[in-house]
């Protein structure tokens, strides 16, 4: 949990913040940051709009609860409204944010954290907040360059960090999609929790696989990006 006296943003209230950075990490995937002036729980989301009166979308926070900056990892949706405009913004430009919300939160027990793409954000937030004991992090992507934060995660998770790459392979990755890994791995303890985060297709397919492999559905916790 973050500490210190910070300004708390009331629900439904939009707050204007200035971007301190905007980086294109890989093609059409951006990491933006701004000064943290509120408290949040790792795993929560905030609404963001590039305009005060414009539509806003929810994004998982991708930074630690005690970090000085709040970071958001997002994929540009070409036909979308918010992300193409966000990607045009630079340091010093304004965005409007909502209060943090959401209950996709850390749990003490042993768990698998399973994500694809930018769905790694809530797990990275938990990790950055020092909350990753007994956790195995599985991240799926198409290309190796898209395993953002890889060095940091490998250094801390060790063997409990697994990258599943569907379009490329090297000695440190599982060659295939996350769902393929879940179908074939021998180690899926039924008493673990399974946290899923990413696009609906992945979450639904992974959930079905886990249930099919004997995981009780009440041990599966899903966060869907929409």
Partner 1 sequence: MNKDRLFGKTLKEMQAIVKKLELPGFTAGQITDWLYKKKISHIDEMTNLSKSAREILNASYVLGLESSQKVQSSTDGTKKYLFNSSSEKFIETAFIPDKDRHTVCVSTQVGCKMGCLFCMTGKQGFQGNLTAGEIVNQVRSIDEWESVSNIVYMGMGEPLDNLDEVLKSLEIFTSDWGLAMSPRRITVSTIGITPSLVEFLEKSNAHLAVSLHSPFDHERKMLMPIQQVYPIDEVLKEIRSWDFGRQRRVSFEYIMFKDLNDTQRHIDELAKILNGIRCRINLIRFHPIPDTPLDSSSDETIASFKDQLNAKGIITTIRASRGEDIYAACGLLSTKKQMEK
Q: Does 21 bind partner 1 (CB under 8 A)?
A: no
- Mapping DSSP to helix (H, G, I), strand (E, B) and coil, where does residue 119 land? helix
- Interacting span for partner 1 (CB under 8 A) from 123-131, 141-149, 153-161, 197-205: 197-205
Identify which of residues 136 and 193 has a Cβ nearer to partner 1 in the complex: 193
Q: Does 128 bind partner 1 (CB under 8 A)?
A: no
Q: Does 15 bind partner 1 (CB under 8 A)?
A: no
- Interacting span for partner 1 (CB under 8 A) from 24-32, 70-78, 123-131, 202-210: 202-210
- Mapping DSSP to helix (H, G, I), strand (E, B) and coil, where does residue 202 land? helix
Q: Does 220 bind partner 1 (CB under 8 A)?
A: yes
Q: Does 131 bind partner 1 (CB under 8 A)?
A: no
Identify which of residues 8 and 217 has a Cβ nearer to partner 1 in the complex: 217
Q: Does 87 bind partner 1 (CB under 8 A)?
A: no
In contact, 55 and 81? CB cutoff 8 Å: yes
In contact, 17 and 37? CB cutoff 8 Å: yes
State how far the Cα of 59 lies from the Cα of 121, in Å rounded to an integer: 9
Residue 122: which of 220, 225, 43 has the closest Cα? 43
Residue 181: which of 193, 166, 164, 194 has the closest Cα? 164
State how far the Cα of 101 lies from the Cα of 90, in Å rounded to an integer: 26
Which of 45, 61, 137, 164 binds partner 1 (CB under 8 A)? It is 45
Tallying the residues shown for the chain, one arrives at: 226
Q: Does 217 bind partner 1 (CB under 8 A)?
A: yes
Q: Which residues bind partner 1 (CB under 8 A)?
A: 45, 58, 101-104, 199-201, 203-204, 207-208, 211-212, 216-218, 220-226
């Amino acid at each position: 949990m973050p500490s210190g006296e910070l300004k708390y943003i009331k629900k439904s209230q939009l707050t204007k913040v200035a971007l301190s950075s905007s980086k294109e990490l890989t093609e059409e995937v951006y990491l933006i940051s701004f000064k943290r002036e509120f408290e949040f729980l790792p795993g929560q989301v905030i609404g963001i709009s590039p305009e005060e009166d414009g539509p806003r979308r929810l994004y998982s926070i991708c930074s630690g609860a005690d970090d000085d900056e709040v970071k958001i990892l997002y994929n540009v949706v070409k036909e979308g409204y918010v992300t193409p405009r966000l990607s045009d913004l630079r340091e010093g430009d304004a965005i409007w944010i909502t209060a943090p919300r959401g209950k996709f939160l850390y749990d003490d027990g042993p768990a698998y954290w399973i994500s694809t793409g930018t769905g790694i954000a809530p797990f990275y937030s938990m990790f950055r907040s020092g909350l990753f004991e007994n956790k195995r992090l599985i991240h799926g992507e198409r290309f190796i360059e898209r395993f953002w934060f890889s060095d940091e995660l490998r250094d801390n998770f060790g063997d409990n960090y697994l990258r599943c790459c569907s379009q490329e392979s090297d000695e440190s990755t599982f060659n295939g999609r996350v769902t393929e890994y879940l179908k074939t791995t021998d180690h899926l303890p039924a008493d673990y929790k399974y946290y899923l985060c990413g696009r609906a297709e992945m979450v639904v397919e992974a959930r079905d696989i886990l249930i099919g492999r004997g995981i009780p559905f009440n041990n599966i916790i899903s966060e869907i990006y929409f």
